[in-house]
Amino acid sequence: MKVSREQMAENRRRILDFASRLFKDKGFDAVSVAEVMKAAGLTHGGFYGHFTSKDDLVAQTLAQALSSDSVGDGEFNSFVRSYLAPRHRDNPGNGCPTAGLAAAIRHQTPAAKAVMTEGLRTQIARIEQALPEQGAAEKRRAAIGSWAAMVGAVILARAVDDPELSDEVLEQTREWIEASIG
């Protein structure tokens, strides 16, 4: 039975959504194509109607995930508070793709690295727009430094087995960014 264009588009969206969650939660190498398709409620055989390979799936999943990864309503301090929160730390599958996948990108294809590069450029620009008025060089420095601190803090907070230290990493980074940005 032939699938309509609308159903094909919906199936592709489902595959990308589930792949994003699984990759962010488990990493690229720990997730198989069969697992993604099963999670999406589709058969493994249908995969190649949407993607040429797992590498293609990785790059396209990153592109979709990073395009929705943003400052939000434009209020920088509220973005920092929600990003550096236990809820975000404790839900990697639904969290930031940069914090969940950046360290693993170095082992991926040039296409995946290019997508991550563009995602980083876009996020830095979004943060620059959300920052209080200051000179262009200062805004760029603050955007890059804040984003690097935020992503690093989430990665470190997820990596430790001491809940108090994990919370402290998030809290202190949040306070440092808020004090630095003013």
Same domain, 20 and 97: no
The model's pTM is 0.87
Provide φ and ψ at 50, rounded to 5°.
-115, -30
Average pLDDT, integer, range 29-38? 96
**Same domain assignment for residues 141 and 120:** yes
pLDDT of residue 19: 96
Same domain, 127 and 88: yes
Q: Which domain holds residue 16?
A: 5-58
Number of domains in the chain: 2
Q: What is the CATH number of the domain that holds 102?
A: 1.10.357.10
Residues 74 and 143 in one domain: yes
| 48 and 77 housed in the same domain | no
Using the 3D structure, point to which of 35, 58, 81 is the last residue of a domain.
58
Domain boundary pick from 33, 58, 83: 58
What would the pLDDT profile of 83-114 be if each residue is shown by its tens digit? 999 999 999 999 999 999 998 999 999 999 99
pLDDT band at 71 (very low <50, low <70, confident <90, very high): low
Structure tokens that stand for 28 in this block: 């690229």
Compute the mean pLDDT over every residue in the chain, rounded to the nearest whole number. 92
Q: Which of 58, 78, 101 is the last residue in one of the domains?
A: 58
Instruction: Note whether 76 and 11 are same-domain residues.
Output: no
Model confidence at 75: pLDDT above 90: no
Kindly report which listed range (1-5, 34-38, 144-148, 149-153) carries the lowest average pLDDT score. Answer: 1-5
Q: Looking at residue 35, which CATH number applies to its domain?
A: 1.10.10.60
Angle at alpha carbon of residue 65, lines to 76 and 151, rounded to 5°: 45
C-alpha dist (Å) from residue 174 to 29, 46, 85, 149, 168: 31, 44, 9, 9, 10
Question: At which residue do the structure tokens 């430790």 appear?
Answer: 160
30 plus 93 within the same structural domain: no
In this prediction, residue 134 has a pLDDT band, given cuts at 50, 70 and 90, of confident
The candidate with the shortest Cα–Cα distance to 109, out of 46, 62, 45, is 62
Same domain, 80 and 138: yes
Mean pLDDT of 75-80: 90
| 46/74 same-domain check | no
Instruction: Concatenate the DSSP letters of all residues of the chain into one string.
Output: -PPPHHHHHHHHHHHHHHHHHHHHHH-STT--HHHHHHHTT--GGGGGGT-SSHHHHHHHHHHHHHHT-S--SS-HHHHHHHHTSHHHHT-GGGS-HHHHHHHHHTTS-HHHHHHHHHHHHHHHHHHHHHSPS--HHHHHHHHHHHHHHHHHHHHHHHH-S-HHHHHHHHHHHHHHHHHHH-
Q: Considering Cα of 44, then 103, then 124, then 170, what sign does the dihedral take? A: positive
